[in-house]
Structure formats: structure tokens, C-alpha cells
């Protein structure tokens, strides 16, 4: 009798565990705003996180300026509420509003040599795919940065940029959507923020005085696959994967590379 009772409890617990697992899986898919989360690669490894992750309520603007703004990156949670912007960035809404608009794509290499203009619908239907491992970054088209603000201003007007700005700077937006395994290889520019709206984005960063080993025309995916596993401890980058609702800040002239673990919708605020 006791055995049958224990067996019944075990079966019920197993069924409950499976139901919870299925619910979590369903939530993860539904939470993608209609954008595919399937990569075709083993990109589930988010890697370690060696960057400070703080709730905005525990870091004042003054502390941000003193501890991070000019010295090292930081990830902030709860800095802004972009719930409305996130809803507007769903796949169905963006295709409905901007499907016929032309967007400018850049090659996903360090210097982004080539530009191609295509209808947004065509980019989503034909080009928004997982990154082939054997394709060069100089042959990979990436939607990020070259935004027509006249056409997209109604969307950007709904975005709440991070409030912790640097003195004597103003923000400029760069909006993008990219497939799993894509990303921009190492490069540097002025300081800024990056926020993920949908998906996950893995970041790798080096300070200005530590040049990373990489080929400017290869992809971040090839770097992660071929070079990253063989780095010595002193050569390892700072890194972390950010999710929706998290904002990464990077200081001026810091080297950084990105790898989208899912189809990602993201926006950066460059402080110039």
C-alpha cells in the first residue's frame, strides 16, 4: 500500500515537472515577439559573465560616472521601461508598418565596407537566417545602424533611452535585427549603451590598451569557435550575455564584438 502510494506521488511529481518544463519552453518561444529563437547551432552556452551586473536602484548617476563611465563596462537592469517599444518591435508589427520600406544593410566585418538597400520584408523573409560558419563577415549582410530616421522616427520616439548620460554628450540611435550566430567582429568607437529588445546577445570586450587577436573579415561566430577556446587566461575578454530588459554600457574606445544567440532585436545609444 505504501509502495503504491509512493509510486503515485512520484508519477504526479514527474508529470508536474514535465508540465512546468513545457510551460517554460512555451513562454520562451512566445516571448520572442514572433522572431525565431532557433539557431541551428549549439548557441545555448551563454558563457561566463565577468562584467558587473547591477540593478539601477543600487547605482546612482553619480556612482555610475565615478565607477564605470570612463573605466569599465557595466550591465544595468531596470534602468528604463521599454515595454511599449518592445511590443512595437514584434515581428508582425514591424512587417505591417515597415515591410515595404527599404533598409540599408552593412557587411558584418570590422569596417563594414559594403552597403546594400533592400525592402525590409525581403530582409526578414530571405536574409534573416542563422550565420553559416564558413561564410566571411565581409559576405554577411547585417541590418544595424544605417537607419532612416525620417521613416523610423515614429518607432524611435517610443524608445526610452538610458538616463545615465555622460556630460556634454548627446545620444544617437542605431537599431538592428539579426539572425542567430550573426554579430559584428571586434571594433571600437565612442562610448554608448546597447539594449536587447528580443533575443539574447553575447558581448566580448577588451580595454583600449589590449588589442584582441582576430581577423577583421571573419565572423564573431568563427572567432568564438576557433580562437576563443584557445585563449590563455590573460588573453580572455570581459564578457556577458544580455537579455531583454538589460542594458550594457561600454566606455570610449573599448574593443567589443557581439554574437546573437537568437534572432535578436536590439538598439544602441551612441554618446557623441
pLDDT at 36: 75
pLDDT band at residue 86 under the 50/70/90 scheme: very high
SS3 at position 25: helix
The more confident residue out of 43 and 253 is 253
Residue 55 has pLDDT above 60, yes or no: yes
Sign of the four-CA dihedral 254, 242, 94, 220 = positive
The more confident residue out of 10 and 256 is 256
Residue 20 has pLDDT above 50, yes or no: no
Mean pLDDT over residues 115-131, rounded? 93
Mean pLDDT over residues 77-90, rounded? 94
pLDDT band at residue 244 under the 50/70/90 scheme: very high
pLDDT band at residue 18 under the 50/70/90 scheme: very low
pLDDT band at residue 32 under the 50/70/90 scheme: confident
**Of 48, 73, 75, nearest in space to 231 by CA:** 48
The more confident residue out of 223 and 32 is 223
| Mean per-residue pLDDT of the chain | 86
pLDDT at 19: 39
- Give CA torsion, residues 177, 144, 54, 253, to 10 deg: 160
pLDDT at 14: 44
Q: In angstroms, rounded to a whole number, what is the distance separating the alpha carbons of residues 180 and 45? A: 13
Residue 26 has pLDDT above 70, yes or no: no
Mean pLDDT over residues 85-99, rounded? 96
Mean pLDDT over residues 63-89, rounded? 96
Residue 17 has pLDDT above 70, yes or no: no
Residue 223 has pLDDT above 50, yes or no: yes
Whether the Cβ atoms of residue 146 and residue 178 lie closer than 8 Å to each other: no
Q: In angstroms, rounded to a whole number, what is the distance separating the alpha carbons of residues 271 and 87? A: 25
Residue 134 has pLDDT above 70, yes or no: yes
List alpha helices for the chain, DSSP H: 2-30, 61-67, 83-88, 91-98, 120-122, 149-156, 220-226
Whether the Cβ atoms of residue 237 and residue 202 lie closer than 8 Å to each other: no
The more confident residue out of 146 and 80 is 80
pLDDT at 44: 61
Whether the Cβ atoms of residue 95 and residue 120 lie closer than 8 Å to each other: yes
Amino acid at each position: 500500500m505504501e509502495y503504491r502510494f509512493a509510486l503515485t506521488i512520484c508519477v504526479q511529481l514527474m508529470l508536474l515537472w514535465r508540465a512546468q518544463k513545457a510551460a517554460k519552453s512555451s513562454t520562451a518561444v512566445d516571448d520572442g515577439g514572433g522572431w525565431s529563437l532557433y539557431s541551428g547551432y549549439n548557441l545555448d552556452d551563454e558563457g561566463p559573465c565577468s562584467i558587473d551586473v547591477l540593478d539601477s536602484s543600487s547605482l546612482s548617476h553619480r556612482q555610475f560616472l565615478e565607477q564605470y563611465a570612463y573605466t569599465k563596462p557595466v550591465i544595468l537592469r531596470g534602468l528604463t521601461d521599454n515595454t511599449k517599444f518592445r511590443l512595437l518591435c514584434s515581428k508582425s508589427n514591424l512587417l505591417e508598418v515597415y515591410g515595404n520600406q527599404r533598409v540599408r544593410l552593412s557587411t558584418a566585418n570590422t569596417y563594414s565596407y559594403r552597403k546594400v538597400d533592400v525592402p525590409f520584408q525581403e530582409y526578414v523573409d530571405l536574409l534573416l537566417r542563422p550565420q553559416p560558419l564558413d561564410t566571411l563577415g565581409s559576405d554577411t549582410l547585417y541590418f544595424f545602424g544605417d537607419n532612416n530616421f525620417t521613416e523610423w522616427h515614429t518607432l524611435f520616439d517610443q524608445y526610452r533611452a538610458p538616463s545615465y548620460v555622460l556630460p556634454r554628450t548627446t545620444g544617437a540611435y542605431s537599431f538592428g535585427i539579426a539572425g542567430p550566430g550573426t554579430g559584428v567582429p571586434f571594433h571600437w568607437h565612442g562610448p554608448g549603451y546597447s539594449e536587447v529588445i528580443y533575443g539574447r546577445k553575447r558581448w566580448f570586450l577588451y580595454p583600449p590598451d589590449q588589442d584582441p587577436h582576430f581577423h577583421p573579415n571573419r565572423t564573431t561566430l568563427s572567432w568564438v569557435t576557433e580562437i576563443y577556446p584557445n585563449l590563455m587566461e590573460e588573453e580572455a575578454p570581459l564578457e556577458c550575455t544580455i537579455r531583454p530588459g538589460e542594458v550594457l554600457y561600454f566606455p570610449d574606445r573599448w574593443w567589443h564584438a557581439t554574437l546573437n544567440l537568437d534572432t535578436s532585436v536590439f538598439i544602441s545609444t551612441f554618446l557623441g
